[in-house]
C-alpha cells in the first residue's frame, strides 16, 4: 500500500487512494501483476472544445500549446479550472481507452490515474472519472502548482512501479513521453494517445479508433 509519496526537493505528500482497499502488486496466485498509469486531459478525455472555450474566456482567443505554456501561472490555472468545471460537459470520453483499461483491470492490472491537474481539482477529477466509467485503484493529483507536469509525474513513476513486472503509461504529451523514457527502466512501455489512435512509442502500434 502506498502510504506517502516523496517528490524530490518538494517534501512528502500523502495521496488519498481512489479505493479504501488497494490491491498489492501480487495477485491471489502470488504472481506479480502489471500496472497501467494513465493521464486524464487529452488521454482519458479529449479536451479540444473545452480548452478552446476556456482559453477564449481567459485570453480572448484559443492558444497553441507553446503560447499557453508561456502565460502567467495564475491565468493558466484559471483556464485549467474552467476546463474541469464550467466546460466539463464538453469533455469527450476516450471510450475505447476506458474500455480497454477496464478490461485490463478485470484481468488483475492495477490502474493508477496520474494527472497534472492540481490538488484543488481532485473532486472534479473524481466526478469526471466516474462519469466516463473508468474503474481505477489510485488517483494522484499535483499538490504543488510550482512543479511542472512532467516533473511531478516523473517524481512518482519510479515509486508507483515498485513491485510490478511491467508498467504501461498512457499520455497525450509527446514531450512528456520522451522525458520519461530517458529516466525509466525497461519495464516501462509508453503509449502516446491521439484522437485518431494510440501509438506505442517503444515498439509496435495499437490501433485505437474513436467514434
- What is the rounded CA–CA span in Å between residue 161 and residue 36? 10
| pLDDT, tens digit, 9 for 90 and up, residues 134-187 | 999 999 998 876 778 888 999 889 888 888 989 999 999 888 888 898 888 888
Displacement of CA 129 from its chain's centroid (Å): 11
The arrangement of secondary structure in 5-46+93-200, i.e. its CATH architecture, is 3-Layer(aba) Sandwich (3.40)
Range scoring the smallest mean pLDDT among 29-33, 141-145, 204-208: 204-208
Cell numbers linked to 90: 464538453
* 39-67: pLDDT as tens digits: 999 999 999 999 999 999 999 999 998 89
CB burial class (10 A; 0-12, 13-18, 19+) of residue 35? buried
- Tell me which of 68 and 196 has the higher pLDDT: 68
User: Domain coordinates of the chain in residue numbers?
Assistant: 5-46+93-200, 48-89
pLDDT score for 29: 62
Question: What residues contact residue 9 under an 8 Å CB cut-off, 6+ apart?
Answer: none
pLDDT tens for each residue of 63-114: 998 899 899 988 988 998 999 999 999 999 999 899 999 999 998 899 999 9
Amino acid at each position: 500500500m502506498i502510504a506517502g509519496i516523496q517528490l524530490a526537493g518538494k517534501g512528502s505528500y500523502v495521496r488519498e487512494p481512489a479505493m479504501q482497499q488497494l490491491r498489492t502488486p501480487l495477485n491471489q496466485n502470488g504472481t506479480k501483476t502489471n500496472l497501467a498509469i494513465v493521464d486524464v486531459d487529452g488521454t482519458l478525455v479529449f479536451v479540444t472544445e473545452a480548452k478552446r472555450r476556456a482559453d477564449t474566456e481567459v485570453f480572448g482567443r484559443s492558444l497553441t500549446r507553446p503560447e499557453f505554456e508561456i502565460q502567467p501561472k495564475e491565468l493558466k490555472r484559471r483556464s485549467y479550472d474552467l476546463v474541469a468545471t464550467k466546460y466539463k460537459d464538453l469533455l469527450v470520453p476516450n471510450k475505447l481507452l476506458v474500455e480497454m483499461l477496464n478490461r485490463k483491470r478485470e484481468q488483475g492490472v492495477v490502474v493508477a490515474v496520474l494527472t497534472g491537474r492540481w490538488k484543488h481539482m481532485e473532486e472534479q477529477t473524481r466526478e469526471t472519472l466516474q462519469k466516463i466509467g473508468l474503474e481505477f485503484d489510485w488517483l494522484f493529483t499535483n499538490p504543488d502548482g510550482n512543479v511542472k507536469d512532467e516533473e511531478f509525474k516523473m517524481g512518482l513513476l519510479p515509486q508507483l512501479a515498485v513491485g510490478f513486472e511491467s508498467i504501461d503509461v498512457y499520455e497525450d504529451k509527446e514531450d512528456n513521453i520522451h522525458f520519461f523514457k530517458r529516466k525509466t527502466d525497461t519495464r516501462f512501455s509508453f503509449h502516446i494517445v491521439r484522437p485518431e489512435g494510440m501509438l506505442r512509442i517503444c515498439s509496435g502500434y495499437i490501433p485505437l479508433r474513436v467514434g
